[in-house]
Amino acid sequence: MTERSNRYRKQKCWAIMPDGSQCTGTRRSSKPWTGPGSRDGKIALCNGHNTHFLKYGEPRTHVPLKAQMPMTFEKRVEHYMNPVHGYIQITPYKCFEWQRTKLRAGYGLVNSKVVAERCGTKNNVQTHRMMWVYKNGPIPDGMQVHHNCYNTSCCNPDHLELATGMENNSDAGMVRHLRKRYAMLLVENRDLKKLIKKLERQVAKEKNRNQQSRA
């Protein structure tokens, strides 16, 4: 191996990570690329980002490489809960809203064997159950993890509590009722705005007619 190639391989990967920092991996190959991190139409990539490039046609820097590496349950959950990595978004109400795969009801979903094994499922785990296990340990038999913030996409452990199925279902029924009532109020408010605009147009037309008749 030449001295030049040795110097090349000791340099860093040029890929720009989600937090704006440069990838710390050692560059292994160069690809034609004009996106973030490129120089003169090329980008030097480490093995991980080069694998992304070969598979997807881009370095896929929005998918951190650490997520692809073997990690313990605790490390993986901590990785998910770091907003820099894009898995959650923290709302003004301190909800940790899951930004990736969700069920129709809004519950976040994680596909990880490490997480599933700890939570007692085969493949997929709902994110709020994952967070309860992470902070408090196994979920007791017959109990469910309830959102006291009523935001099903939230996985903030401080917004979670245990409840029986009956308690959880009664709360869910109340939330459905409130959401339905809220939707009805939105429709009523929209219709009221339309009526106000219609009356404003009629008043403006009448005013114009009066001004024209006086002229």
pLDDT (tens digit, 9 = 90+) per residue, 176-200? 555 555 566 666 777 777 777 877 8
Q: Looking up tokens 């770091």, which residue turns up?
A: 82
Tokens of 154: 């939230």
pTM of the model: 0.52
Which of the residue ranges 29-38, 105-114, 157-166 would you say has the lowest mean pLDDT? 157-166
**Residue 62 has what pLDDT?**
78
Largest CA distance in the chain: 97
- pLDDT tens-digit readout, 42-84: 999 988 888 888 888 888 887 766 545 567 899 889 989 999 8
d(CA 155, CA 147): 9
Please report which confidence band the pLDDT of residue 89 belongs to, taking 50, 70 and 90 as the band edges: very high
What amino acid occupies position 181?
R
CATH topology of domain 70-164: Homing Intron 3 (I-Ppo) Encoded Endonuclease; Chain A (3.90.75)
Domain ranges of the chain: 3-67, 70-164
Phi, psi of 122 (to 5 degrees): -85, -50
**CA pseudo-torsion sign 160, 164, 167, 172:** positive
